[in-house]
Amino acid sequence: MKGVIFRGLEALVIEKCGMAAWDDLLEKNAPEGRVYISAESYPDEEMVGLAQDVAAALSMSMPEVLKAFGEYLFSHLKARHPSIVANFNCFADLIIGIDKVIHVEVAKLYHEPNLPEIDAQIIEDGFILMRYNSKRQLCMCAEGLIFGAASHYGIDVTLNHVQCMHDGSDTCLIEVKYETPHG
Amino acid sequence: MAEDDYNYKKAYLREKSARDQLEILLEDKTRALFIANQELEKKLEMVKNQQVTLMQSEKMATLGQLSAGVAHEINNPLAYITSNVESIKFIKPVLVSLMTAAQQFVDKSISVSQLESILVQLNQENDLSFIVDDIDDLVDDTQEGLERIAHIVSNLVDFASLKDNVTAMADITESLNGTLKLLDNQLGTCAIELHIEKLPLTRCNISSMKQVFVNLLINAKHACDDLRDQQGKIRVKLFANENNIYIEVADNGCGMNADTLKQMFDPFFTTKPVGQGTGMGMAIVYNVLKEHNGTIEVESEVGMGSLIRCVIPIAT
């Protein structure tokens, strides 16, 4: 997993729990002297270990932590790459453009980014069906990112995870129902 | 303690900010590099397409240069085919008369004596035994002449074909044989010595390999054109070892000086007078060999001749 995601987690933990907490997490889950760099790749297990410990420290479930992290990660990434987000006029544009625009931009920045496969289609105004597929199975994090995007555009969104890789499905299916300008 | 905490956090934030700035710098550079790379890939694709076009143009230019010789090659058989057909045209009425008489005799519309009288008259007028002797030669020579023309045309079509990117398992000897037929007239002034060993099949572009042979042989021939006191000799060797196929073309022509040797693979470099050479021949040979992961070696001495050795790794 790319360091930029770890850096998002680092920022979140330090902001919410302080530097000592982040240090403790690193001590426990990463090799000695680890400093995350956005463009570098790190083992997925490190992220899982860190997230699990964050969940334990905050008495939250893993999905809850990933969702909260995803939401935070959106604002973290938006702050780093404002021009990418500026490509989109609205929430739906951004969700539909994840694969064709955002992932293309990410591929320009990072070597072998190992991005998840995301296919989003507008079923009707206010309703997007998203397919998520990744061997990392971080679908909850994807949910958090969707919430983060909705928050960026100042709209309400409801997600219904109708099919999940954690339940043995080949791919996750997430129904995204969102507020439209027409109500 | 609180003071320590404050200082560490401040230091951390400063370090984090430096890391952020460096990462932004890195990302900007990476993005620029990515875009530049995409541009380069596009340009590389364009260059590749232009190379194909250039190669085709060079082929057409070679064909233009060969056209006089090829026309002569076709003219020779065409001349005796025309003469033979003319002779057959004279024989035709005799044959028709013979067959008509035979048909009438079978139909019993003429008697034996009438048939005999017709045959005697035909023989007196046309010398039937000469016709019998001659007709085999006329037909055989005509057929051979037509086959020669068909071969020449087929070689020309093959050489001019657009299948420039097609590679297949093939025997490079085929390319040499096709080229020698194509250049038969062109190379007529030189003595050609062939040393061809059995070659293994290799994955190659037969069309491109023909272009290599054409360019090497025509260059060798041109090098021999100015020889005054001896005949031009071109020696072609094809052989292989476990790993490579070797093509050697040697001539006893004018040879090349150091300057020419340095530039001989440069596109548009030519030692021929303006308008007589495209200067692309050896550049194309070099490129074709490069496409086959091959190499080229040149030995040359002014006034003594040149030896061009192409080494092509066997690919399966």
A125-145 pLDDT tens trace: 999 999 999 988 888 889 999
Residue from A138, A115, A114, A142 nearest A128 by CA: A142
C-alpha A11/C-alpha B13 separation (Å) is: 11
Residue in B8, B19, B30 closest to A109 by CB = B30
CB-defined contacts A:B, below 8 A:
27
Q: Which residues of A touch B27 (CB under 8 A)?
A: 38-39, 109
Residue A183: pLDDT above 70?
A: no
Residue from B310, B307, B130, B112 nearest B209 by CA: B310
CA atoms within 13 A on the CB side of B134: 15
Residue B4: pLDDT above 90?
A: no
Record: contact B30-A39, CB cut-off 8 A: yes
User: Would you place residue B99 in the very low, low, confident or very high pLDDT band (cuts 50, 70, 90)?
Assistant: very high
In sequence order, the 6+-apart residues with CB closer than 8 A to the CB of B261 are B298, B300
Record: contact B9-A19, CB cut-off 8 A: yes
With a threshold of 0.90, does the pTM exceed it?
A: no
Q: Judge contact between A138 and A116, C-beta under 8 A.
A: yes
Residue from A31, A34, A43, A32 nearest A10 by CA: A34
In this structure, what token pair is assigned to residue B215?
């360019």
Which one of B23, B24, B31, B35 would you mutate to disrupt binding with A, by most A Cβ within 10 Å of its Cβ? B23
CB atoms within 10 A of CB A1: 17
In one-letter notation, the amino acid at residue A147 is F
In this structure, what token pair is assigned to residue B271?
């030692």
C-alpha B74/C-alpha B149 separation (Å) is: 6
Residue in B8, B9, B31 closest to A109 by CB = B31
Q: Which residues of B touch A38 (CB under 8 A)?
A: 23, 26-27
Record: contact A38-B23, CB cut-off 8 A: yes
What is the average per-residue pLDDT within B219-241?
92
Size of chain B in residues: 316
Residues A47-59: pLDDT tens digits?
989 999 998 888 8
Residues B67-85: pLDDT tens digits?
777 787 788 889 999 999 9
**What residues pair up with A129 in beta bridges, in sequence order?**
A121, A175
- How many Å from the N-terminal Cα to the C-terminal Cα in chain B? 73
Distance of CA B151 to the CA centre of its chain: 14
Reduced to 3 states, what is the DSSP secondary structure of residue B3?
A: helix
